[in-house]
A and B are shown apart, each in its own frame.
Chain A
Amino acid sequence: MTDSNSPEVAASEPGPDLTPGGTPDTPGTPGVADLAEAGETDETLLSPPRPVFAQNWKRILSMGAVGVGAQIFLALSNMPLRLDDRLLIKPILSLGYVSLLFVPFIAGNRVGHQIQREGIPMHAAGLHEIFGGVICGVIAGGGVSLLSVLLVNFDLREPLVNWSPMLAELLAFGNSTAFAVFIWLLLGGLAGAAGGAMRLVNPKARRVVVTMVLTVGFISVLESLVMDLAEGLRFEWLTERVYARRGGLNWNWALILAAFSGLVAMLTRGRVRQAREHIASLEGASRARTNFGLIILTGAILVILPLFLGKFTNELLANVGLFVLLALGLNVVVGLAGILDLGYVAFFAVGSYSAAVLTAATSPRINPEMPWLVALIFVVVITGLVGLFIGAPVIRMRGDYLAIVTLGFGEIIRLLFLSDWLADTFGGSQGITMIPGAGIFGLGSVSGTEPRNVFYLVLAFCALAIYISWRLERSRLGRAWMAVREDETVAEAMGINTVNVKLMAFVVGAILGSFSGAIFSAKVGSVFPNSFLILVSIVILVVVIFGGMGSIPGVIAGSAVLIGVLGGPRQPGLLSEFSEYKLLIYGALLIWMMLARPEGLIPSVRRSRELHQQEIAQDSWLREQLDEEAESTAGNDQPARATA
């Protein structure tokens, strides 16, 4: 895998393939105007590899120290023990060990990172990177060695609940402590070396390797989903062979899958990307047609697929859909209008409770027992009013005060539902139970026992919500939201009534939230104040930010990945073993996203513009220069240079 020839190869041919990454110091390169292109500047200038021992020792030590900290933290958080049951590849690899080993791998990879400076040649990767990776990995692995010594000799069980002999045994692979010390230094070194080696494989080979690892990883991690699909689509004969009886891939099948996916990646090399870029470069009517086709295709898959899925997966899909709906609502408020609402759960709660009160026979004081669809009208009106009520006082506050105050409102609303004071209307801590399902035009009742129907209901409302946010974004109102997000004072001076426009965003968000609230109460059949903790708001926010603020596909992908794989605040995801850690991971993910990719998984065009102004401005400046060279007739418009 790691042929050390490739860097020289890359160095000797400085770009026969037309990667659109011409550096600005080569004027006239036609590719510079390609704005979508980001990062993939592989064919930059290369200078010879650095000597093996000329390491940046300070960096190695600090990366190693971070690795030690991370390893010890992960070990003491009980993640390895808990995840040890989850076999990935049958006899060899469990998720528990992976959760530790990925640390030295990443440390070993990052330690060789070079900062790319324009015009200054990069060093070609070589043994230097591997050696650095090994040292860094050994240090990081040493963290586990140290921990296994400490585990045997000291008892810190008092504050640290996971300080146990079981952990020591796991870390030692069932052998002696000395073995543990040795093996972790070795494993750390190996993982670090692998990490460092990733730097010297050329990008194409790296893509193949990554595809192989990801395929095997996904297929083993998403075992329950694949099994469920297999049952519906009748290919159990295959999965029975692929998966071992007690979970995990059989090792021979893991190899087969890896080889297969590697082959596919090699054959289709770059084609997928080309296709994507082709679609992105389409304009006007053909773009619209392609998009429409894609939407229809996705819709059709989403309608047909659940028919072949079991209860488990449909339940999962319904949960994901519910969060897509919530996230779409929050996306209008946060992504389009730029109002950071941390109390979004309030609308979810009001929607659920009002639907419960209006439909349930057991509701303590008011129980009109309306049919669900009729109740929905009232729910929308009530929640819209609550949106106005909460929105009006906060709308003129500074952005961050607004965040805290909405959080306060969210908490006040939950406390009111919980209080004895209103208990004879809302049931207090007992909540409201025995809520009937949602009856849809005599198509039968949609309730939690039929997750497939719930999913269809959710899907319908998601489609509605997508339509609403899509249409509004491209209207006069949507443009006003953008303007308000950009600069409120100027928006006001340009004749936009900022208060009304922002209130409108609040109300639209509230109404979308009420949809999911009404579905939620019908699905679960009961509402309790504890379903509406601030936590829910934060999770929805993480979903929106992870997916990409202001981007509808991003928000959907965000919910699918986070809620589907890790699980919601109370809803289990595919990786049910992670349930203890999901909030931890959400937190870490939020920090990491903000630091590394603030525009989200699938960014909206506008958002990435905002965050990458400088690069785009440079590109456009270059384009302008080229334009001017081309038509040297238009003389007097010299762009002022120093204003980016």
Chain B
Amino acid sequence: MTDTMSHPSTPNANAVNGTAALLETRKLSVDFGGLHALDGLDFEVREGEIVSVIGPNGAGKTTLFNAITATIELSSGDILFEGASMMGLDPNKVTARGIARTFQNVRLFANMTVLENVMVSQHCRTRQHAFGALFYTPAFRREEAEIRERAEKILSFFGNRLVGYRFDQPAFTLSYANRRRLEIARAMATEPKLILLDEPVAGMNPVESAELTKLVGRLRDEWGFAIVVIEHHMDVVREVSDRVVVLDHGTKIAEGEYEEVSNDPQVIEAYLGHGNEPS
């Protein structure tokens, strides 16, 4: 609780859910050579909250994701998830704790089918190993059926886009928007508590992007995930976020509701540049 005190600008956004912080970074720093990609960042996400992280290019947004998912080394600071430190965990252990992510440049398992992509992502939630597979035990069969069922259920969340004959199509045949959707499906399959979406609507047309925006909301409402979104499209940010965090040069320069942040002179200077209100 003392932590909330240290944040200057977390007014009523926190009131959305009064619960404790799900993810919390403390004085997080990441250096690349001499460059401070993240510089003493304090950041938190509460349960059931949708937080947007915005900022100009090179502000350290993706670095933040990489640091949380342990794909890069921290220079200093600590990351707490559900109150426990995640220092020293391998990326797969972080996923097992309940944090899933998508990638800025979509990175599917291109030659695996749509269904397989989702099935394989349940790896850390399932147990059956070589023994069960070799002897085709009832437990193995049950688990395989469950994995498949879950995968189909998750895919059907996206309407009829990824179902039917698409189940068995290799992922590289999907359209760009569908690849983005499949990436989200894959993240959902790891049964996370928190999903990190890295520019989910990048490269989509307005219709698709509006649809995906709705989807992000449904992800929280229907599945109960907390979500962090990196996004450049301000209309998407306004639509989805409970709270917006603005990064610049690896530090947090503003935080709060969308309107509040978008009127912050510091933000306008750092991010919006010419002082134009984003549409």
Write out the residue numbers on chain B whose beta carbons fall within 8 Å of the beta carbon of A644: 172
Write out the residue numbers on chain A whose beta carbons fall within 8 Å of the beta carbon of B107: 487, 489-490
A interface majority secondary structure: helix
In the assembly, what is the distance between CA of A620 and CA of B100, in Å?
Answer: 30
Residue with the greatest number of chain B CB neighbours at <10 A, chosen from A482, A492, A617: A492
- A641: nearest chain-B partner, CB-CB: B175
Spot the interface stretch: B125-133, B232-240, B266-274: B125-133
Asked if A639 and B101 make an inter-chain contact with CB atoms under 8 angstroms apart, the answer reads no
Asked if B120 and A496 make an inter-chain contact with CB atoms under 8 angstroms apart, the answer reads yes
Spot the interface stretch: B18-26, B204-212, B254-262: B204-212
Task: Count residues on chain A whose CB falls below 8 Å from chain B CBs.
Answer: 44
Instruction: For chain A, residues 222 to 262, give those with C-beta under 8 angstroms from any C-beta of chain B.
Output: none
Asked if B208 and A636 make an inter-chain contact with CB atoms under 8 angstroms apart, the answer reads yes
Write out the residue numbers on chain A whose beta carbons fall within 8 Å of the beta carbon of B100: 494-495
A495/B123 contact (C-beta < 8 A), A489-B71, A616-B173, A617-B172 known: yes
Instruction: For chain B, residues 173 to 199, give those with C-beta under 8 angstroms from any C-beta of chain A.
Output: 173, 175-179, 186, 190
Asked if A476 and B128 make an inter-chain contact with CB atoms under 8 angstroms apart, the answer reads yes
Instruction: For chain B, residues 142 to 182, give those with C-beta under 8 angstroms from any C-beta of chain A.
Output: 143-144, 147, 160-161, 169-170, 172-173, 175-179
Spot the interface stretch: B8-16, B43-51, B111-119, B214-222: B111-119
Residue B124 is within 8 A (CB to CB) of chain A in the complex: yes
Write out the residue numbers on chain A whose beta carbons fall within 8 Å of the beta carbon of B109: 482-483, 486-487, 490-491
Asked if B173 and A497 make an inter-chain contact with CB atoms under 8 angstroms apart, the answer reads no
Write out the residue numbers on chain A whose beta carbons fall within 8 Å of the beta carbon of B144: 475-476
User: CB < 8 Å: which of A497, A504, A637 contacts B92?
Assistant: A497
User: CB < 8 Å: which of B96, B160, B173 contacts A634?
Assistant: B160
- B170: nearest chain-A partner, CB-CB: A609
Write out the residue numbers on chain B whose beta carbons fall within 8 Å of the beta carbon of A471: 133-134, 136
Write out the residue numbers on chain A whose beta carbons fall within 8 Å of the beta carbon of B140: 475
Write out the residue numbers on chain B whose beta carbons fall within 8 Å of the beta carbon of A468: 134
- B98: nearest chain-A partner, CB-CB: A495
Residue B69 is within 8 A (CB to CB) of chain A in the complex: yes
Asked if B124 and A495 make an inter-chain contact with CB atoms under 8 angstroms apart, the answer reads yes
Instruction: For chain A, residues 478 to 506, give those with C-beta under 8 angstroms from any C-beta of chain B.
Output: 478-480, 482-483, 486-487, 489-498, 504
Write out the residue numbers on chain A whose beta carbons fall within 8 Å of the beta carbon of B133: 471-472, 474-478
User: CB < 8 Å: which of A476, A486, A495 contacts B147?
Assistant: A476
Residue A289 is within 8 A (CB to CB) of chain B in the complex: no
Write out the residue numbers on chain A whose beta carbons fall within 8 Å of the beta carbon of B177: 637, 639-640
In the assembly, what is the distance between CA of A610 and CA of B111, in Å?
Answer: 6
Asked if A609 and B130 make an inter-chain contact with CB atoms under 8 angstroms apart, the answer reads no
Instruction: For chain A, residues 591 to 644, give those with C-beta under 8 angstroms from any C-beta of chain B.
Output: 606, 609-610, 613, 616-617, 620-621, 624, 634, 636-640, 643-644
Residue B56 is within 8 A (CB to CB) of chain A in the complex: no
Asked if B129 and A477 make an inter-chain contact with CB atoms under 8 angstroms apart, the answer reads yes
Write out the residue numbers on chain A whose beta carbons fall within 8 Å of the beta carbon of B108: 490
Instruction: For chain A, residues 432 to 482, give those with C-beta under 8 angstroms from any C-beta of chain B.
Output: 467-468, 471-472, 474-480, 482
Residue B62 is within 8 A (CB to CB) of chain A in the complex: no
Residue B52 is within 8 A (CB to CB) of chain A in the complex: no
A637/B175 contact (C-beta < 8 A), A475-B130, A477-B129, A620-B169 known: yes
Distance in Å: Cβ of B86 to nearest Cβ of chain A:
14
Asked if B103 and A486 make an inter-chain contact with CB atoms under 8 angstroms apart, the answer reads no
- B190: nearest chain-A partner, CB-CB: A495
Write out the residue numbers on chain A whose beta carbons fall within 8 Å of the beta carbon of B123: 476, 479-480, 483, 494-496
In the assembly, what is the distance between CA of A400 and CA of B129, in Å?
Answer: 28
Interchain residue pairs with CB less than 8 A apart (29): A468-B134, A472-B130, A472-B134, A475-B128, A475-B130, A476-B123, A476-B126, A480-B120, A483-B109, A490-B103, A490-B108, A490-B109, A493-B92, A493-B95, A493-B101, A494-B120, A495-B100, A496-B120, A606-B112, A610-B110, A620-B173, A621-B173, A634-B160, A637-B175, A639-B177, A640-B175, A640-B204, A643-B175, A643-B176
- 3 A-B pairs with the lowest CB-CB distances in the bound complex, closest first: A495-B124, A639-B175, A475-B133
Known: A476-B128, A495-B125, A636-B211. 18 other contacts (CB 8 A): A472-B130, A472-B134, A475-B133, A476-B123, A476-B144, A479-B116, A479-B119, A480-B120, A489-B107, A490-B103, A492-B92, A493-B101, A494-B100, A495-B95, A609-B170, A613-B111, A624-B175, A638-B207
